[in-house]
Structure 1
Amino acid sequence: MAHILLLHASVGMGHQRAAAAIAQALGQLPGVTAQLEDTLDYTHPLFRRSYRGSYLSLADRIPGVWSGFYRATDRVFPSRGVFAAARAQYTAFGMRDLCGLVERARPDAIICTHFLPVEALAPLRGYGLPPLACVITDYHAHTFWAVPGADSYFAPTPAARAELIAAGIPAARVSVSGIPIDPSVCQPIDRLAVRRALGLPAWQPIVTLIGSGMPVDRVRALAQALLARRLPATLVIAMGRNTVLATALADLELAAGPALRLLGPQPSLAPLLAASELVIGKAGGLTVSEVLALGVPMLIPLPVPGQEQWNVEYVLRAGAGRAHSDAAALAGDAAELLGSQPRRAAMAAAARAASRPHAAMAVAVQVLDRAQAAHAGAWRRPQAATFATEASVV
């Protein structure tokens, strides 16, 4: 049996979803078990609150500030200097419990879908750490991902691979895999059955707005603009567990009647997205990857924070979607696309061509190969005392 530890960080849902996708792929391989953990569950409470809170506050509430920080730090800093020392000390302050998790789990390999656990664990490679993999979950490899010391890095595109190499990661360690998505996303669906299951009109086109991760005011503005166009489609707003959003849109649903459907939490949005003619949503790495794999044209509301800017550019370059800073313009584009089946078909084909739907399995297989090679004696399991000593300095 091979036991693989998957580490994500709960700053947004993308990192967790990527780790879960790889775990599902590993579950399809014989003799493999996977353990999924949130790195922030093993940090000092003050570190956890500041790390998670600073990202969510900036990215969601003042995205311009986050974007400025993201761009300003997207460069190679000296390995010895004020920034490197401050970053190392900040990580050292918060990450002391992570070494204990690794010692208890005793994995044959570790896969990280966020750079934070790589920062904490890479210095342990000389102390018997099992093979360590870093999986990038956006279409741009910000230099924060270029943490030296991992055994393998998985980039979403050749361009992102080149960015990692330019930042100092050895080329031999960087593979192009795509961004891992749930392996079940691309399973064939019965579009009519999906409509019936969700209580939607059987033959009416569907436009899905993924509202759960957006500010309430923006979702409402988009919904109003789309409804004002009187689209020949049912507008479905996926709200997840966002009860604040549900309350804010209740009056629109009442007034719009069958033209608008508010949808609560679902086991998976994939069937709805696959049954849609258009998807409107944020440009998170996982969302973009899933929509591309499903072959559905995507409309993206602007502005977007930091890393999402490169995700938008990837969609636009592929010809798989459009982006608009004005809700009315986005609604107008949606109406035009609904009226042009050839244009939708061309964008759908471009989306599929730009996707890598089997990324999760590609990562799983390569990491498992490394783990099996390590079993041949290439590494020794560390003692608890070793982890305890390193935890005080990492």
Structure 2
Amino acid sequence: MGFNILITTAPFGNGHKMVATALKNAFINKGYNNVFVVDLFTEAHPTITETIKKAYIKSYDFGEAYSMLYYGSEKLTDKRIIEIYRNFGYKKLRDIAKSFKPDVIINTFPILASLKIKNESGENIPVFNIVTDFYVHKLWLSKEIDKFYIATEELQEELKKLNIPVEKTVVSGIPIREAFEEVESISMLYKKYRFKRNKKIVLINSGAFGVFKNIKKVCIELCKYKSIQVAVVCGNNTLQKSKLESLKLRNLKVFGFIENIDDLYKIACCMITKSGGITLSEALAVQLPLIIIKPVPGQEKENALYFEKKGAAIIANNSYQIINSTIELINSPSILNAMKNNMKKMYNKSSSFKIVEDVVETIEK
């Protein structure tokens, strides 16, 4: 079918690319094959991006700097510096638009909420934003944007207050991989990963401990409980993986990068993690109660507070609180169930599908 769809993404945080891919797949499933995903930052400024990326990762170590970058940029929204920030990659986008001729541009990262680009007939190409958090940073907002796909009804109310008309917002949820919505046999998954069926699984998303060097302590303490098995996902952090393996704890399983991480989400009884918007959406899809590690000021903090308020997560600020909250949760089936029910209510199913339907309908008008 004949639409050209351009999806922009960014290399900061691992989630944005996943959102872009989930969306691309949903378009292809619907018969729209001309979908182009571009990481504008890396394309436009490979060397600057590397530097920014390093600073971005580093900034997690000193929450203050990140907070300044985040809330600071919030305060600067009306100033000229933000315009420079917004236009980062704009020239590249214009060049791509010239050759690819998109009928629509979909952003999955706020800094790219850029100015209008015209097509060959001199008309503005529609620009849609997918907000990948449970909170809207002002960088997402611009009068130029034709539509916002957002996670919650509360956000719709917030945007109303910020003078974004309701007809420009769609409560779609945040796109995630389809695998999270597929039902699996739990006993098969226990077998596949060699977990004991009579023990509760605590999943630890070790990326969260970038902020937090006490992962070893948490593993040791939790593994003292015979009724618990701990699964830690280290991603590409091979050093951390080998350090944890060398603890030789009987009820600890350490994974590197795992393609089907949704499997572990489905058999865990709770997860210790940080509060990136995409991780939280994945947890909602399988109703996996959360212990959120000390969120850094900025969108992670806003996400965490929202989940806590909704009764879907517990925020823990140090290793002592993480261990205690985890044990308390595991020993309270009624609290775990209440959290699962709250998550069920919060979850927006088939988010990518909703967005694709709406995009197509809007362009066809």
**Which residue of the partner structure matches residue 286 of structure 1?**
278
Tell me the alpha carbon deviations over residues 308-356 of structure 1, each in whole angstroms, 9 at most, x when there is no partner.
1111112111111211112122212222222222221111111111111
**Which residue of the partner structure matches residue 191 of structure 2?**
196
Larger RCO: 1 or 2 (CA < 8 Å, sep 6+): 1
Secondary structure of 1:89's aligned partner: helix
- Greater shift, 177-186 or 123-132, is seen at 123-132
1:258-273 map, 5 Å: 259-273=251-265
The aligned amino acid for 1:73 is S
Cα offset, 1:269, TM superposition? 0.9
Cα offset, 1:77, TM superposition? 4.0
User: TM-score scaled to structure 1, two decimals?
Assistant: 0.85
**Which residue of the partner structure matches residue 221 of structure 1?**
217
1:130-145 map, 5 Å: 130-145=125-140
The aligned amino acid for 1:64 is E
Tell me the alpha carbon deviations over residues 247-276 of structure 1, each in whole angstroms, 9 at most, x when there is no partner.
332222x1x12x100012221211110111
**Which residue of the partner structure matches residue 74 of structure 2?**
74
Selected match of 1:101 from 96, 99, 105: 96
Secondary structure of 1:134's aligned partner: strand
| C-alpha separation in 1, matches of 2:112 and 2:196 | 46
Instruction: Please say if residues 273 and 296 of structure 1, whose CA atoms lie closer than 8 Å, have aligned partners that are also in contact.
Output: yes
1:321-340 map, 5 Å: 321-340=313-332
- Cα pair distance change 1:32/1:278, threshold 3 Å: same
Secondary structure of 1:279's aligned partner: strand
**Which residue of the partner structure matches residue 385 of structure 1?**
none
| C-alpha separation in 2, matches of 1:274 and 1:90 | 40
- Cα pair distance change 1:218/1:307, threshold 3 Å: farther
| C-alpha separation in 2, matches of 1:248 and 1:147 | 46
Root-mean-square deviation over aligned CA pairs: 2.2
| C-alpha separation in 2, matches of 1:162 and 1:95 | 30
- Cα pair distance change 1:338/1:91, threshold 3 Å: closer
Secondary structure of 1:217's aligned partner: coil
Matching of residue 362 in structure 1 with residue 362 in structure 2: no
Quote the sequence identity (%).
Answer: 22
Matching of residue 238 in structure 1 with residue 239 in structure 2: no
Cα offset, 1:204, TM superposition? 2.4
| C-alpha separation in 2, matches of 1:90 and 1:204 | 50
**Which residue of the partner structure matches residue 274 of structure 1?**
266
- Cα pair distance change 1:320/1:231, threshold 3 Å: farther
- Cα pair distance change 1:316/1:24, threshold 3 Å: same
**Which residue of the partner structure matches residue 4 of structure 2?**
3
Of Structure 1 and Structure 2, which has the larger fraction of its residues in helix? 1
Secondary structure of 1:224's aligned partner: helix
**Which residue of the partner structure matches residue 116 of structure 1?**
111
Instruction: Please say if residues 122 and 148 of structure 1, whose CA atoms lie closer than 8 Å, have aligned partners that are also in contact.
Output: no
Q: Which runs of 5+ in 2 are unaligned?
A: none
Cα offset, 1:124, TM superposition? 4.1
Matching of residue 86 in structure 1 with residue 81 in structure 2: yes
**Which residue of the partner structure matches residue 14 of structure 1?**
15
**Which residue of the partner structure matches residue 149 of structure 1?**
144
Cα offset, 1:303, TM superposition? 3.9
Cα offset, 1:289, TM superposition? 0.9
| C-alpha separation in 2, matches of 1:278 and 1:210 | 11
Selected match of 1:304 from 296, 299, 308: 296
Aligned residues: 362
| C-alpha separation in 1, matches of 2:124 and 2:52 | 25
User: TM-score scaled to structure 2, two decimals?
Assistant: 0.91
| C-alpha separation in 2, matches of 1:167 and 1:23 | 30
- Cα pair distance change 1:63/1:336, threshold 3 Å: same
Matching of residue 43 in structure 1 with residue 44 in structure 2: yes
Tell me the alpha carbon deviations over residues 24-67 of structure 1, each in whole angstroms, 9 at most, x when there is no partner.
22222134442222121321334423443333222x22112212
Instruction: Please say if residues 274 and 295 of structure 2, whose CA atoms lie closer than 8 Å, have aligned partners that are also in contact.
Output: no
